[in-house]
Amino acid sequence: MLNWIILFLFTVCKAKKAENDVVQEVIYSNSIRALSELREIENSYMEHLNNYVSLLQQKIKTLRIFINSLNQDYLDHKVDRYKYVSDPRSSFGLVRRAHQDWPKLIAYLRDQENMKVDIEEMNKLINRTPNANDMEEALMGMDRIEHFYDLKSSDMAQGHVAGQQLGSRMSASDCLALADYLYKRSEFKRAAEWYRLALSVLPKPKNNVAFKFYAPKREELEKMFVISRLQEGKFKKSIILVFIYNCLPSGSLDNLSDYLKELSQNPNNSLVHLRPRKPPTLIEQGCQGKFPPGPQLVCRYNSTTTPFMRIAPLKEEEISRDPLIWLYHNVIYDSEIAQLTNLTREEMILGTTTNYTTPDRVDRLFHIKVTDDDGGKLDKTLVNRMADISGLDVGNTTTLARINYGLGGYFQEHSDYMDIKLHPELTEEGDRLMTFLFYMTDIPVGGATIFPGAQLAIQPKKGSALFWYNLHNNGDPNPLTRHAVCPTIVGSRWVLVKSMLNYEQMFKKPCYK
Protein backbone atom coordinates (compact mmCIF):
# COMPACT_ATOMS: atom_id res chain seq x y z
CA MET A 1 0.00 0.00 0.00
CA LEU A 2 1.27 3.46 -0.85
CA ASN A 3 2.63 5.54 1.99
CA TRP A 4 0.21 8.10 3.29
CA ILE A 5 0.80 11.46 4.81
CA ILE A 6 0.30 12.30 8.45
CA LEU A 7 -0.94 15.83 8.85
CA PHE A 8 0.11 16.33 12.48
CA LEU A 9 -3.13 14.80 13.68
CA PHE A 10 -5.45 17.37 12.17
CA THR A 11 -8.39 17.08 9.87
CA VAL A 12 -8.76 19.16 6.79
CA CYS A 13 -11.68 21.49 6.29
CA LYS A 14 -11.95 20.96 2.56
CA ALA A 15 -14.46 22.87 0.49
CA LYS A 16 -16.40 20.58 -1.79
CA LYS A 17 -18.74 21.64 -4.52
CA ALA A 18 -21.64 19.70 -3.04
CA GLU A 19 -25.23 19.66 -4.17
CA ASN A 20 -26.00 22.68 -2.05
CA ASP A 21 -22.88 24.56 -3.24
CA VAL A 22 -21.61 25.27 0.26
CA VAL A 23 -18.71 27.72 0.06
CA GLN A 24 -15.70 27.19 2.30
CA GLU A 25 -15.21 29.85 4.94
CA VAL A 26 -12.30 32.11 4.08
CA ILE A 27 -9.93 32.66 7.00
CA TYR A 28 -6.96 34.89 6.20
CA SER A 29 -5.28 34.97 9.62
CA ASN A 30 -4.12 31.33 9.54
CA SER A 31 -1.73 31.81 6.63
CA ILE A 32 0.82 34.49 5.75
CA ARG A 33 0.18 33.64 2.10
CA ALA A 34 -3.52 34.43 2.56
CA LEU A 35 -2.74 37.58 4.55
CA SER A 36 -0.61 38.84 1.66
CA GLU A 37 -3.68 38.42 -0.55
CA LEU A 38 -5.70 40.46 1.95
CA ARG A 39 -3.07 43.20 1.70
CA GLU A 40 -3.49 43.10 -2.07
CA ILE A 41 -7.25 43.52 -1.59
CA GLU A 42 -6.61 46.54 0.62
CA ASN A 43 -4.36 48.00 -2.09
CA SER A 44 -7.24 47.72 -4.59
CA TYR A 45 -9.67 49.21 -2.08
CA MET A 46 -7.41 52.21 -1.47
CA GLU A 47 -6.90 52.67 -5.19
CA HIS A 48 -10.66 52.92 -5.77
CA LEU A 49 -11.11 55.09 -2.68
CA ASN A 50 -8.41 57.52 -3.85
CA ASN A 51 -10.01 57.67 -7.28
CA TYR A 52 -13.41 58.34 -5.67
CA VAL A 53 -11.94 61.13 -3.52
CA SER A 54 -10.26 62.67 -6.59
CA LEU A 55 -13.58 62.79 -8.40
CA LEU A 56 -15.22 64.37 -5.35
CA GLN A 57 -12.46 66.98 -5.21
CA GLN A 58 -13.02 67.80 -8.86
CA LYS A 59 -16.71 68.25 -8.15
CA ILE A 60 -15.96 70.50 -5.17
CA LYS A 61 -13.56 72.54 -7.29
CA THR A 62 -16.27 73.05 -9.92
CA LEU A 63 -18.80 74.13 -7.29
CA ARG A 64 -16.28 76.50 -5.70
CA ILE A 65 -15.70 78.17 -9.08
CA PHE A 66 -19.45 78.70 -9.50
CA ILE A 67 -19.84 80.13 -5.97
CA ASN A 68 -16.95 82.52 -6.48
CA SER A 69 -18.40 83.65 -9.82
CA LEU A 70 -21.47 85.04 -8.05
CA ASN A 71 -19.22 87.44 -6.17
CA GLN A 72 -21.93 88.72 -3.84
CA ASP A 73 -22.45 88.97 -0.13
CA TYR A 74 -24.96 87.01 1.86
CA LEU A 75 -28.01 89.28 2.28
CA ASP A 76 -29.29 88.66 5.79
CA HIS A 77 -31.54 91.69 6.27
CA LYS A 78 -34.84 92.23 4.52
CA VAL A 79 -33.93 95.82 3.58
CA ASP A 80 -30.80 94.64 1.80
CA ARG A 81 -32.71 92.01 -0.14
CA TYR A 82 -35.30 94.61 -1.24
CA LYS A 83 -32.53 96.89 -2.37
CA TYR A 84 -30.89 94.07 -4.32
CA VAL A 85 -33.98 93.05 -6.31
CA SER A 86 -34.87 96.69 -6.99
CA ASP A 87 -32.10 96.65 -9.56
CA PRO A 88 -33.57 95.04 -12.74
CA ARG A 89 -30.24 93.52 -13.69
CA SER A 90 -29.96 91.80 -10.31
CA SER A 91 -33.58 90.67 -10.44
CA PHE A 92 -33.12 89.22 -13.90
CA GLY A 93 -29.91 87.48 -12.88
CA LEU A 94 -31.65 86.05 -9.81
CA VAL A 95 -34.55 84.65 -11.86
CA ARG A 96 -32.23 83.23 -14.52
CA ARG A 97 -29.93 81.55 -11.95
CA ALA A 98 -32.88 80.09 -10.07
CA HIS A 99 -34.41 78.80 -13.31
CA GLN A 100 -31.30 77.61 -15.14
CA ASP A 101 -28.25 77.27 -12.87
CA TRP A 102 -29.61 75.80 -9.66
CA PRO A 103 -31.40 72.85 -11.32
CA LYS A 104 -28.18 72.14 -13.23
CA LEU A 105 -26.19 72.22 -9.99
CA ILE A 106 -28.62 69.88 -8.26
CA ALA A 107 -28.41 67.51 -11.23
CA TYR A 108 -24.61 67.81 -11.13
CA LEU A 109 -24.56 66.95 -7.43
CA ARG A 110 -26.84 63.96 -7.95
CA ASP A 111 -24.91 62.71 -10.93
CA GLN A 112 -22.48 60.10 -9.60
CA GLU A 113 -22.35 57.98 -12.71
CA ASN A 114 -18.60 58.45 -13.04
CA MET A 115 -18.16 57.46 -9.40
CA LYS A 116 -20.46 54.44 -9.39
CA VAL A 117 -17.74 52.14 -10.69
CA ASP A 118 -15.45 52.86 -7.74
CA ILE A 119 -18.28 52.48 -5.21
CA GLU A 120 -19.37 49.17 -6.76
CA GLU A 121 -15.80 47.87 -6.79
CA MET A 122 -15.29 48.88 -3.16
CA ASN A 123 -18.51 47.05 -2.24
CA LYS A 124 -17.20 43.92 -3.96
CA LEU A 125 -13.94 44.17 -2.03
CA ILE A 126 -15.80 44.65 1.26
CA ASN A 127 -17.48 41.29 0.63
CA ARG A 128 -14.02 39.69 0.62
CA THR A 129 -12.88 41.17 3.93
CA PRO A 130 -12.31 39.09 7.11
CA ASN A 131 -15.35 37.90 9.04
CA ALA A 132 -15.78 37.73 12.81
CA ASN A 133 -14.08 34.31 13.04
CA ASP A 134 -11.09 35.65 11.14
CA MET A 135 -10.87 38.62 13.51
CA GLU A 136 -10.99 36.22 16.46
CA GLU A 137 -8.11 34.21 14.97
CA ALA A 138 -6.05 37.39 14.55
CA LEU A 139 -6.70 38.38 18.18
CA MET A 140 -5.73 34.90 19.35
CA GLY A 141 -2.50 35.14 17.35
CA MET A 142 -1.54 38.46 18.96
CA ASP A 143 -2.48 37.10 22.38
CA ARG A 144 -0.24 34.06 21.86
CA ILE A 145 2.73 36.18 20.77
CA GLU A 146 2.51 38.35 23.88
CA HIS A 147 1.78 35.48 26.28
CA PHE A 148 4.14 32.76 25.01
CA TYR A 149 7.14 35.06 24.81
CA ASP A 150 6.28 37.03 27.97
CA LEU A 151 6.46 40.33 26.07
CA LYS A 152 5.57 43.75 27.44
CA SER A 153 2.42 45.11 25.85
CA SER A 154 4.10 48.50 25.37
CA ASP A 155 6.94 46.86 23.44
CA MET A 156 4.49 45.04 21.21
CA ALA A 157 2.52 48.21 20.51
CA GLN A 158 5.69 50.11 19.60
CA GLY A 159 7.12 47.30 17.48
CA HIS A 160 9.92 46.26 19.87
CA VAL A 161 9.74 42.48 19.65
CA ALA A 162 12.43 40.02 20.74
CA GLY A 163 15.26 42.51 20.27
CA GLN A 164 14.03 43.72 16.87
CA GLN A 165 12.38 46.96 15.85
CA LEU A 166 9.54 46.22 13.46
CA GLY A 167 8.41 48.77 10.93
CA SER A 168 4.85 49.36 12.07
CA ARG A 169 3.20 50.44 15.32
CA MET A 170 -0.25 49.65 16.63
CA SER A 171 -3.02 52.22 16.51
CA ALA A 172 -5.43 53.09 19.32
CA SER A 173 -8.12 50.97 17.64
CA ASP A 174 -5.70 48.01 17.44
CA CYS A 175 -4.89 48.34 21.16
CA LEU A 176 -8.58 48.65 22.06
CA ALA A 177 -9.48 45.49 20.12
CA LEU A 178 -6.83 43.51 22.02
CA ALA A 179 -7.89 45.04 25.35
CA ASP A 180 -11.54 44.07 24.81
CA TYR A 181 -10.52 40.55 23.77
CA LEU A 182 -8.39 40.07 26.89
CA TYR A 183 -11.07 41.55 29.13
CA LYS A 184 -13.63 39.03 27.83
CA ARG A 185 -11.13 36.27 28.65
CA SER A 186 -10.78 37.62 32.21
CA GLU A 187 -7.14 38.63 31.58
CA PHE A 188 -7.80 41.84 33.47
CA LYS A 189 -4.25 42.99 34.17
CA ARG A 190 -3.21 42.57 30.54
CA ALA A 191 -6.48 44.18 29.38
CA ALA A 192 -5.79 47.22 31.59
CA GLU A 193 -2.34 47.63 30.04
CA TRP A 194 -3.80 47.61 26.54
CA TYR A 195 -6.55 50.10 27.51
CA ARG A 196 -3.84 52.41 28.84
CA LEU A 197 -1.81 51.95 25.66
CA ALA A 198 -4.86 52.82 23.56
CA LEU A 199 -5.16 56.04 25.54
CA SER A 200 -1.49 56.87 25.05
CA VAL A 201 -1.67 56.62 21.24
CA LEU A 202 -5.20 57.98 20.82
CA PRO A 203 -5.02 60.83 18.28
CA LYS A 204 -6.87 64.08 18.75
CA PRO A 205 -9.38 64.40 15.89
CA LYS A 206 -9.12 67.69 14.02
CA ASN A 207 -12.88 68.01 13.50
CA ASN A 208 -16.19 66.44 14.50
CA VAL A 209 -16.33 64.28 11.37
CA ALA A 210 -13.06 62.62 12.35
CA PHE A 211 -14.65 61.32 15.56
CA LYS A 212 -16.67 58.88 13.44
CA PHE A 213 -13.45 57.20 12.31
CA TYR A 214 -11.81 56.90 15.73
CA ALA A 215 -13.73 54.20 17.56
CA PRO A 216 -12.05 54.62 20.98
CA LYS A 217 -13.49 57.32 23.21
CA ARG A 218 -11.13 58.66 25.85
CA GLU A 219 -13.68 58.50 28.67
CA GLU A 220 -14.61 54.93 27.78
CA LEU A 221 -10.95 53.84 27.75
CA GLU A 222 -10.32 55.43 31.13
CA LYS A 223 -13.40 53.75 32.60
CA MET A 224 -12.48 50.30 31.21
CA PHE A 225 -8.91 50.66 32.54
CA VAL A 226 -10.14 51.23 36.10
CA ILE A 227 -12.80 48.51 35.83
CA SER A 228 -10.13 46.06 34.67
CA ARG A 229 -7.96 46.92 37.65
CA LEU A 230 -10.91 46.53 39.99
CA GLN A 231 -11.69 43.15 38.46
CA GLU A 232 -8.06 42.10 38.84
CA GLY A 233 -8.24 43.06 42.49
CA LYS A 234 -11.27 40.78 42.98
CA PHE A 235 -13.64 43.57 44.04
CA LYS A 236 -17.31 42.78 44.25
CA LYS A 237 -19.32 43.19 41.07
CA SER A 238 -21.73 45.57 42.83
CA ILE A 239 -18.89 47.97 43.62
CA ILE A 240 -17.71 47.86 40.02
CA LEU A 241 -21.22 48.60 38.76
CA VAL A 242 -21.36 51.62 41.06
CA PHE A 243 -18.16 52.87 39.51
CA ILE A 244 -19.50 52.34 36.00
CA TYR A 245 -22.39 54.69 36.73
CA ASN A 246 -20.06 57.28 38.24
CA CYS A 247 -21.66 57.02 41.70
CA LEU A 248 -18.70 55.65 43.63
CA PRO A 249 -18.65 57.07 47.18
CA SER A 250 -15.40 58.78 48.07
CA GLY A 251 -13.12 56.63 50.18
CA SER A 252 -15.01 53.41 49.48
CA LEU A 253 -12.03 51.96 47.61
CA ASP A 254 -8.60 52.65 49.04
CA ASN A 255 -6.84 51.51 45.87
CA LEU A 256 -8.88 53.56 43.42
CA SER A 257 -6.55 56.57 43.68
CA ASP A 258 -3.62 54.26 42.95
CA TYR A 259 -5.32 52.97 39.81
CA LEU A 260 -6.00 56.51 38.63
CA LYS A 261 -2.32 57.32 39.16
CA GLU A 262 -1.41 54.24 37.11
CA LEU A 263 -3.62 55.57 34.34
CA SER A 264 -1.50 58.72 34.05
CA GLN A 265 1.82 56.89 34.24
CA ASN A 266 4.07 56.09 31.32
CA PRO A 267 2.55 53.01 29.58
CA ASN A 268 6.07 51.57 29.33
CA ASN A 269 5.84 50.94 33.09
CA SER A 270 4.23 47.55 33.69
CA LEU A 271 1.26 47.40 36.00
CA VAL A 272 1.57 45.68 39.37
CA HIS A 273 0.23 42.13 39.45
CA LEU A 274 -2.69 41.91 41.85
CA ARG A 275 -2.92 38.13 41.53
CA PRO A 276 -0.15 35.46 41.61
CA ARG A 277 1.31 34.81 38.18
CA LYS A 278 1.14 31.31 36.78
CA PRO A 279 4.59 29.80 36.11
CA PRO A 280 5.38 29.27 32.41
CA THR A 281 4.68 25.85 30.94
CA LEU A 282 7.47 23.73 29.46
CA ILE A 283 6.43 24.80 25.96
CA GLU A 284 6.46 28.48 26.93
CA GLN A 285 9.92 28.02 28.48
CA GLY A 286 11.13 26.44 25.24
CA CYS A 287 9.65 29.23 23.12
CA GLN A 288 11.39 31.78 25.38
CA GLY A 289 14.74 30.03 24.89
CA LYS A 290 14.92 28.85 28.51
CA PHE A 291 15.65 25.17 27.88
CA PRO A 292 19.10 24.10 29.08
CA PRO A 293 21.72 23.70 26.31
CA GLY A 294 21.21 20.49 24.38
CA PRO A 295 23.74 17.68 24.29
CA GLN A 296 26.77 18.29 22.11
CA LEU A 297 26.46 15.25 19.88
CA VAL A 298 27.81 14.66 16.38
CA CYS A 299 27.94 16.69 13.16
CA ARG A 300 29.12 14.71 10.15
CA TYR A 301 28.75 14.01 6.45
CA ASN A 302 26.47 10.99 6.12
CA SER A 303 27.71 8.89 3.20
CA THR A 304 26.46 5.45 4.19
CA THR A 305 22.65 5.40 4.12
CA THR A 306 22.40 4.76 0.34
CA PRO A 307 25.00 4.09 -2.37
CA PHE A 308 24.33 7.52 -3.96
CA MET A 309 25.47 9.26 -0.78
CA ARG A 310 29.01 7.99 -1.30
CA ILE A 311 29.41 10.60 -4.01
CA ALA A 312 26.95 13.18 -2.54
CA PRO A 313 27.01 12.93 1.28
CA LEU A 314 24.50 14.93 3.33
CA LYS A 315 25.31 17.28 6.21
CA GLU A 316 23.87 15.51 9.25
CA GLU A 317 23.54 16.94 12.76
CA GLU A 318 22.56 14.56 15.53
CA ILE A 319 20.11 16.47 17.74
CA SER A 320 19.08 13.77 20.21
CA ARG A 321 19.44 10.06 20.88
CA ASP A 322 16.28 9.79 22.96
CA PRO A 323 14.18 10.50 21.06
CA LEU A 324 16.14 9.83 17.86
CA ILE A 325 16.25 13.17 16.02
CA TRP A 326 18.54 14.35 13.23
CA LEU A 327 18.74 17.69 11.43
CA TYR A 328 19.93 17.63 7.81
CA HIS A 329 21.26 20.84 6.28
CA ASN A 330 20.91 22.10 2.69
CA VAL A 331 18.65 19.26 1.55
CA ILE A 332 16.02 21.34 -0.28
CA TYR A 333 17.05 24.12 -2.65
CA ASP A 334 15.74 27.59 -3.49
CA SER A 335 14.43 26.60 -6.93
CA GLU A 336 12.54 23.66 -5.41
CA ILE A 337 11.14 25.81 -2.61
CA ALA A 338 9.95 28.43 -5.12
CA GLN A 339 8.08 25.73 -7.02
CA LEU A 340 6.58 24.14 -3.90
CA THR A 341 5.38 27.40 -2.37
CA ASN A 342 3.97 28.87 -5.57
CA LEU A 343 0.40 28.44 -4.39
CA THR A 344 -2.61 30.73 -4.27
CA ARG A 345 -4.98 30.86 -1.32
CA GLU A 346 -7.63 29.09 -3.39
CA GLU A 347 -5.28 26.12 -3.91
CA MET A 348 -4.88 25.66 -0.16
CA ILE A 349 -7.39 24.56 2.43
CA LEU A 350 -7.78 25.10 6.16
CA GLY A 351 -6.14 22.59 8.49
CA THR A 352 -7.68 22.06 11.92
CA THR A 353 -7.17 19.82 14.92
CA THR A 354 -9.12 16.58 15.40
CA ASN A 355 -10.93 15.20 18.42
CA TYR A 356 -7.75 13.23 19.09
CA THR A 357 -5.63 16.37 19.46
CA THR A 358 -8.19 18.72 21.05
CA PRO A 359 -11.18 16.63 22.22
CA ASP A 360 -13.19 19.59 23.49
CA ARG A 361 -12.82 21.94 20.53
CA VAL A 362 -11.62 22.43 16.95
CA ASP A 363 -8.66 24.77 16.50
CA ARG A 364 -7.78 26.35 13.17
CA LEU A 365 -4.07 25.88 12.56
CA PHE A 366 -2.80 26.84 9.12
CA HIS A 367 -3.43 26.59 5.40
CA ILE A 368 -2.35 23.38 3.70
CA LYS A 369 -2.13 21.63 0.36
CA VAL A 370 -1.79 17.85 0.25
CA THR A 371 -1.13 16.13 -3.06
CA ASP A 372 -0.24 12.73 -4.42
CA ASP A 373 2.40 14.09 -6.73
CA ASP A 374 2.69 13.00 -10.32
CA GLY A 375 6.12 11.41 -10.33
CA GLY A 376 7.63 14.38 -12.18
CA LYS A 377 11.22 15.54 -11.89
CA LEU A 378 10.84 17.42 -8.60
CA ASP A 379 8.71 14.64 -7.14
CA LYS A 380 11.29 11.95 -7.94
CA THR A 381 14.06 14.17 -6.61
CA LEU A 382 12.33 14.59 -3.24
CA VAL A 383 11.51 10.86 -3.03
CA ASN A 384 15.17 9.98 -3.59
CA ARG A 385 16.32 12.62 -1.10
CA MET A 386 14.06 11.32 1.66
CA ALA A 387 15.30 7.80 0.95
CA ASP A 388 18.90 9.07 1.21
CA ILE A 389 18.13 10.69 4.56
CA SER A 390 16.25 7.77 6.12
CA GLY A 391 17.31 4.66 4.29
CA LEU A 392 13.62 3.70 4.24
CA ASP A 393 11.21 2.79 1.46
CA VAL A 394 9.65 6.18 0.74
CA GLY A 395 7.48 4.96 -2.16
CA ASN A 396 7.12 6.20 -5.70
CA THR A 397 5.57 9.62 -4.99
CA THR A 398 6.14 12.14 -2.21
CA THR A 399 2.58 12.69 -0.88
CA LEU A 400 3.84 15.75 0.99
CA ALA A 401 1.79 18.28 2.92
CA ARG A 402 2.72 21.87 2.15
CA ILE A 403 1.82 24.02 5.16
CA ASN A 404 1.86 27.77 5.71
CA TYR A 405 1.29 29.24 9.19
CA GLY A 406 -0.32 32.62 9.80
CA LEU A 407 -0.44 35.43 12.35
CA GLY A 408 0.99 34.05 15.60
CA GLY A 409 0.74 30.62 13.97
CA TYR A 410 0.92 27.90 16.62
CA PHE A 411 0.39 24.15 16.93
CA GLN A 412 -0.24 22.87 20.44
CA GLU A 413 1.62 19.86 21.86
CA HIS A 414 0.68 16.64 20.06
CA SER A 415 2.12 13.35 18.90
CA ASP A 416 2.46 12.04 15.37
CA TYR A 417 1.88 8.49 16.60
CA MET A 418 -1.62 7.43 17.59
CA ASP A 419 -0.75 4.40 19.78
CA ILE A 420 -1.94 1.15 18.25
CA LYS A 421 -3.13 -0.09 21.67
CA LEU A 422 -5.65 2.73 21.80
CA HIS A 423 -6.52 2.52 18.09
CA PRO A 424 -6.77 -1.16 17.10
CA GLU A 425 -7.88 -0.15 13.61
CA LEU A 426 -4.18 0.53 12.92
CA THR A 427 -3.27 -3.14 13.42
CA GLU A 428 -3.19 -3.88 9.68
CA GLU A 429 -0.72 -1.18 8.67
CA GLY A 430 0.92 -0.17 11.95
CA ASP A 431 1.42 3.16 13.68
CA ARG A 432 3.23 6.21 12.36
CA LEU A 433 6.88 5.27 12.45
CA MET A 434 8.71 8.48 11.58
CA THR A 435 8.29 12.10 10.47
CA PHE A 436 10.06 14.26 7.91
CA LEU A 437 9.76 18.01 8.53
CA PHE A 438 11.33 20.21 5.84
CA TYR A 439 11.82 23.91 6.59
CA MET A 440 11.29 26.01 3.45
CA THR A 441 11.80 29.43 5.07
CA ASP A 442 13.95 31.09 7.70
CA ILE A 443 11.98 32.38 10.68
CA PRO A 444 13.84 35.35 12.24
CA VAL A 445 11.76 35.35 15.43
CA GLY A 446 9.57 32.56 16.82
CA GLY A 447 8.24 29.49 15.03
CA ALA A 448 10.54 26.93 16.69
CA THR A 449 9.70 23.23 16.84
CA ILE A 450 9.57 22.24 20.52
CA PHE A 451 9.95 18.80 22.09
CA PRO A 452 8.99 19.66 25.69
CA GLY A 453 9.61 16.22 27.14
CA ALA A 454 13.16 16.17 25.79
CA GLN A 455 13.57 19.93 26.38
CA LEU A 456 14.64 20.53 22.80
CA ALA A 457 13.91 23.55 20.60
CA ILE A 458 14.84 23.62 16.90
CA GLN A 459 14.68 26.93 15.05
CA PRO A 460 13.59 26.66 11.38
CA LYS A 461 16.41 27.18 8.91
CA LYS A 462 15.63 27.41 5.24
CA GLY A 463 16.68 24.31 3.32
CA SER A 464 17.04 22.04 6.36
CA ALA A 465 14.98 19.02 7.40
CA LEU A 466 14.20 17.36 10.73
CA PHE A 467 13.88 13.59 10.76
CA TRP A 468 12.79 11.61 13.81
CA TYR A 469 11.37 8.26 14.86
CA ASN A 470 8.06 8.34 16.74
CA LEU A 471 8.29 4.68 17.87
CA HIS A 472 10.77 2.59 19.81
CA ASN A 473 12.36 -0.45 18.17
CA ASN A 474 9.57 -2.65 19.54
CA GLY A 475 6.89 -0.43 18.00
CA ASP A 476 5.75 1.23 21.22
CA PRO A 477 5.21 5.00 21.09
CA ASN A 478 7.98 7.24 22.41
CA PRO A 479 6.21 10.00 24.38
CA LEU A 480 9.35 12.16 24.16
CA THR A 481 8.48 12.75 20.49
CA ARG A 482 5.42 14.78 21.46
CA HIS A 483 6.06 18.23 20.04
CA ALA A 484 4.59 21.66 19.41
CA VAL A 485 5.18 24.72 17.23
CA CYS A 486 5.90 28.05 18.92
CA PRO A 487 3.89 31.06 17.70
CA THR A 488 5.51 32.72 14.71
CA ILE A 489 6.38 36.35 15.41
CA VAL A 490 8.24 37.50 12.29
CA GLY A 491 8.34 35.68 8.98
CA SER A 492 6.27 33.21 6.98
CA ARG A 493 6.61 29.63 8.23
CA TRP A 494 6.45 27.21 5.28
CA VAL A 495 7.07 23.53 5.97
CA LEU A 496 6.75 20.19 4.18
CA VAL A 497 5.60 17.18 6.20
CA LYS A 498 5.59 13.45 5.54
CA SER A 499 5.14 10.42 7.82
CA MET A 500 5.33 6.69 7.08
CA LEU A 501 3.78 3.63 8.67
CA ASN A 502 5.62 1.09 10.78
CA TYR A 503 4.84 -2.24 9.11
CA GLU A 504 5.85 -0.98 5.65
CA GLN A 505 9.38 -0.46 6.92
CA MET A 506 9.70 -3.73 8.83
CA PHE A 507 12.66 -4.94 6.77
CA LYS A 508 14.15 -1.52 6.12
CA LYS A 509 14.27 0.26 9.48
CA PRO A 510 17.54 -0.22 11.39
CA CYS A 511 17.33 -1.07 15.09
CA TYR A 512 18.98 1.80 16.95
CA LYS A 513 20.39 1.37 20.44
The per-residue pLDDT for range 31-54, each reduced to its tens digit, is 998 999 999 999 999 999 999 899
pLDDT at 239 over 90: no
Q: Which of the four pLDDT bands, split at 50, 70 and 90, describes residue 207?
A: low
Q: How far apart are CA 353 and CA 366, in angstroms?
A: 10
Q: How far apart are CA 212 and CA 206, in angstroms?
A: 12
Q: What is the mean pLDDT of residues 238-244?
A: 48
- Which residues are 11's β-sheet partners? 352
Going along 99-163, which residue ranges are E strands?
160-161
- Max mean pLDDT range (179-183, 249-253, 277-281, 371-375): 179-183
Q: Provide the pLDDT for residue 271.
A: 83
Q: How far apart are CA 327 and CA 381, in angstroms?
A: 19
Q: Which of the four pLDDT bands, split at 50, 70 and 90, describes residue 283?
A: very high
Q: Provide the pLDDT for residue 324.
A: 92
Query: Helices 113-126 and 32-70 meet at what angle, rounded to 10?
Result: 160
Amino acid identity, residue 258? D
Nearest to 484 by CA among 416, 401, 399: 416
Q: Which of the four pLDDT bands, split at 50, 70 and 90, describes residue 1?
A: very low
Q: How far apart are CA 218 and CA 497, in angstroms?
A: 49
| Structure-model confidence comparison of residues 187 and 501, the more confident one | 187
Q: Which of the four pLDDT bands, split at 50, 70 and 90, describes residue 2?
A: very low
Share of the chain above pLDDT 90, in %: 34
pLDDT at 203 over 70: yes
Q: How far apart are CA 354 and CA 359, in angstroms?
A: 7
List helix spans (H) across 245-355: 256-264, 282-287, 334-340
pLDDT at 238 over 50: no
Q: Provide the pLDDT for residue 436.
A: 93
Q: Is the dihedral of CA 287, 191, 183, 169 positive or negative?
A: negative
Q: Provide the pLDDT for residue 250.
A: 44
Q: Which of the four pLDDT bands, split at 50, 70 and 90, describes residue 452?
A: very high
pLDDT at 245 over 50: no
Q: How far apart are CA 202 and CA 173, in angstroms?
A: 8
For domain 151-264, the question of CATH label 1.25.40 is answered with yes
Q: Provide the pLDDT for residue 22.
A: 42
| Structure-model confidence comparison of residues 24 and 124, the more confident one | 124
Q: Provide the pLDDT for residue 112.
A: 73
Q: What is the mean pLDDT of residues 168-176?
A: 87
Q: What is the mean pLDDT of residues 440-450?
A: 94
pLDDT at 15 over 70: no
**DSSP character for 100?**
I
Q: Provide the pLDDT for residue 332.
A: 94
| Structure-model confidence comparison of residues 165 and 45, the more confident one | 45
pLDDT at 63 over 90: no
- Where does residue 111 rank: exposed (0-12), middle (13-18), buried (19+ CB within 10 A)? exposed
Q: How far apart are CA 271 and CA 182, in angstroms?
A: 15
Q: Which of the four pLDDT bands, split at 50, 70 and 90, describes residue 508?
A: confident
Helices and strands in the chain, H and E counts = 16, 18
pLDDT digits (tens, 9 = 90+) for 377-425: 888 888 889 989 988 887 766 678 899 999 999 999 999 888 877 777 7
Determine the topology of domain 284-505 in CATH: Jelly Rolls (2.60.120)
Give residue limits of the domains in the chain.
32-70+83-127, 151-264, 284-505
